[in-house]
Every structure is written in C-alpha cells, then in structure tokens.
Amino acid sequence: MSTTHRTVQQLHDLRGRTALITGGSRGLGLQLAHALGEAGAHLLISARKASDLEDAATELRAAGHTVDVFAADGRDDAQVLALVDHALATLGQIDILVNNAGATWGAPAEDHPMDAWDKVMDLNARSVFLLTREVVRRCMLPRGEGRIVNIASVAALGGTARSMQAAAYHASKGAVASLTRALACEWGPHGITVNAILPGVFPSKMAQHMLKPDVLAPIVASVPLRRIGDDEGLKGAVLLFASDAGQHITGVLLPVDGGASAVVGA
C-alpha cells in the first residue's frame, strides 16, 4: 500500500500517460478523447474513416490536446493488429485502452439478417476482445499495469419496448459486459483494471432515430433525471476508470443513464 498521500487532482492527473480510443472521431468517442486529453493524456484515436479522424484531431488539437490518428476497421483482424503496431510505435506504450467503436442494426428479431448480426457482433464484441487481448499481451502484462475501459450500453442489461428492435446490439453489449467482468478477474492479479461504462441515450449518429421528438418525449419522461445525456455526461466516468482515482475499482458495470436502469420495470 502506498504511503504517499496524493490529492484528488493528482489522482486524476494523466500527464505522461497514453490512451488509445477506438471510435474516437465523433460522438461519445470524441467526448471520451476530450476527457482524457483534458487530464493530460497523449491520445491516439482510431476510426474507420480517415477524414473523420482528421476533423476530430483538428478539434482536439485546438483544445490543446496531443493527439495522433490511425484509420482502422475493427471488423478486419489485420487492421486491428496494425492499429496495435502503430500505437506501440507512436506512443511507446498504451496505458489506457478505451473500446468505444460500435455499430447497430435495427430490425425485428424474426426478420434480423444474419449478415447484419455478424457485422454488429464482429465490431461490438469480437474486435473488442481481439484488440484488448493484443494490447494486454504486448504491453500491459509485461509492465504489470494498465487501464481498460469498455463502452457497453444499458442495452446490456436487457430489452425494452421503448428502444429500437436491435437484438444483435443488445446481445453484443451484453457480451461486452460479461467479458469486462471475466477479464477483470483474470487480469486483476497483474495490475490491470477492466471496467465498463453503460451509457443510456446520448445524442449521437447511432441514436438519431431516438432523438425524434415523438420518440424522445416518452424516454425522457421515464428517466428519473428527466433528461438524456450530453457532451459532458461520460467525462467523469471515463476519467475515474482511466486514472489512479479508480485504481481499486475493477469489474464494474457503471450505467450512465440518468437513473433509467434503476426504475423497476424499466
């Protein structure tokens, strides 16, 4: 146990640390990147489209953050491995891995195309495991420390009549939640924490269909805080899990949903 008493500010300080964020070019991923950059981390953001990454990097650099980019499709194993190669070559080490990239597909379960199922599961679950495995095996295990933050969803907790019909999305996020706890148990003895954030409804491209007034109104009415997420809603959670402030927290699934998941029968 450390005998050094650090302040709260020092415990959240990420200066000198590196962070790889997938799906970091927009939406929740960009918010997460801003949060870690504001705490001082050197960022590497990845997404499928290079043009989107450059736009995000311009925004992050304008905010004073140090950021590199690498375009990779998480559904392609070779590109995932190339991302790890690039991350280690660019950053030297990976202290923090944020698995945020994801996809969804809306369709009634009885009509859900299997190619769409595979697309969602490959990106949301399979690629998360592959990238995490490689980062841990090549970087975190040899150093005996690391922080992994998985972005799941409150959809991991079950279905809801209010949401889109998206069985593959629910299943994939449930897999991420279960994987989070399994890896936390397996890698905890090696100084690696693994936690998951479960966002509720946040403004994003993926959630556009839920932001229509007639759809959004009943959702907001059912949330105890009577609002959806915003551009700051995930910052505190990711900083806690990524920093020494959360050094004794692992295997946690943290809903950030305005209290929606606490409602009985929600």
59 in catalytic set:
no
Give, for 68, the enclosing helix (H) or strand (E).
strand 67-71
With a CB cutoff of 8 Å and minimum separation 6, the contacts of 235 are 31, 32, 34, 35, 38
Q: Which of 135, 97, 129 is nearest to 238 (CA)?
A: 97
Residue 159 tokens read as: 């279905």
Q: Which of 53, 103, 56, 121 is nearest to 83 (CA)?
A: 53
Rounded (10°) angle between helices 27-38 and 50-62: 30
Strands 96-99 and 146-151: parallel
Alpha helices by DSSP H, listed for 92-228, are 114-121, 127-135, 141-143, 167-187, 213-222
Residue 121 tokens read as: 């599961």
Out of 17, 34, 44, 169, which one is annotated catalytic?
Answer: 169
Which residues are known to be catalytic?
Answer: 169
